[in-house]
Amino acid sequence: MSKSIEIFATRADWIEVLSPVEEDIPFDIFQGGSHSQFPIRTTGLTHMKSVGKATTGISIQEKRYLFVPRDAEINPRIVEQRIGGHRVIVDQLENANSMVIHFGGIFGEKTLISGVSGQFHRGNGLSKYLIEPD
């Protein structure tokens, strides 16, 4: 069962909320979606410049990120293309102990675009902080 919540937050808001989570359950971050090669692992939210900055102004078009426990292996799906080659798909389908966030954030000078925090698999350690609070 999937579950998600819409969140209006700036960079400072995301860091304030996720820093205590990272102290309790250290996590790594991968850009989700379709890629020509395996995406780079990012360790630590504060190293990501895109947190809290919307680039498109359209919530569903903002980049999505897969959060997994620190040093966990992720299982991307390799999809062969009809025209040759392949795409590397990074999502929750094969990564049960993960959570997806797209940050949204400030767009332009005065517009706040919503982000989304979601999970596909119920009850993993990361999602309990944002999706299943006590």
Q: Which two tokens stand for residue 70?
A: 């620190």
pTM of the model: 0.81
Between strands 105-107 and 99-102, the pairing is unpaired
Domain assignments of the chain as residue spans, ordered by start: 3-130
Q: Which two tokens stand for residue 19?
A: 């820093």
pLDDT at position 130 = 56
The CA distance from 54 to 59, in Å, is: 8
Which residue stretches of the chain have pLDDT < 70? 1-2, 119-134
